[in-house]
Structure 1
């Protein structure tokens, strides 16, 4: 199974996350909701890593990887805190499209910092995603 299969699964689970989170945060603090969600993810992902026997590879991770994984974790935590607060304050059908503007930001950052190609099709697709997100969010 290639990247497209896993990306489609990710999209499906992300959609479920938004709907389940919107229902789950009703009447509770969004930061507490994020903490609960993060705890579940922590237990779940460590159970998978241990179950697959991958936890033993932790000693082989280099310093650079540690730094970027920790920074990624901080960015994820901040993203989730903001996302849950936005979901608490606004409709899921508006919050989620704005959140998905991250796709456009990734396209630009991958080009600027990772040396990925910027093609006319990527520019057009990114532009359409941005316009679509804005139309969906404010329609």
Structure 2
């Protein structure tokens, strides 16, 4: 199995657990506050991972690269808004509907990658993305 595939599968399993744990945890609290607490926990965990790897000294390097840092900031803001909306949707909706609709991001990201990066899709890839879009519509109904 390719390394990227293993990591992608682990990411999918982890993301699924975000939905399950989040839905249980959101029952009696504000979704935005829960998202903030989640972000703090994630930051502490990730700083621990970077420290364990011995890469804390590389942080100023990222901050020093203006373009890189700008896009890391924009990515962080996009991620934060995604989390806010995701937890708000989970608070009031069903996991079985919210999670698949959230995965419409796969379709949007693929389209944007074609437009901005010139990535090419094979016929099989295109069919797969179209099926994801159809699946999103079907789960929303």
Task: Report the TM-score when normalising by structure 1.
Answer: 0.95
Unmatched runs of 5 consecutive residues or more in structure 2: none
Alpha-carbon distance between aligned partners in 1 of 2:27 and 2:96, rounded to the nearest angstrom: 16
Pick one of 65, 68, 75 that aligns with 2:68: 65
Name 1:37's counterpart in structure 2: 38
Deviation at 1:18, TM superposition (A): 0.4
Unmatched runs of 5 consecutive residues or more in structure 1: none
Superposition map of 1:1-139 within 5 A:
2-61=3-62, 62-138=65-141
Task: Report the TM-score when normalising by structure 2.
Answer: 0.94
Segments ≥4 residues shifted beyond 3 Å: none
Aligned residues: 138
Contact in 2 for aligned 1:94/1:137 (Cα 8 Å): yes
Alpha-carbon distance between aligned partners in 1 of 2:112 and 2:71, rounded to the nearest angstrom: 15
Question: What is the CA RMSD across the aligned residues, in angstroms?
Answer: 1.1
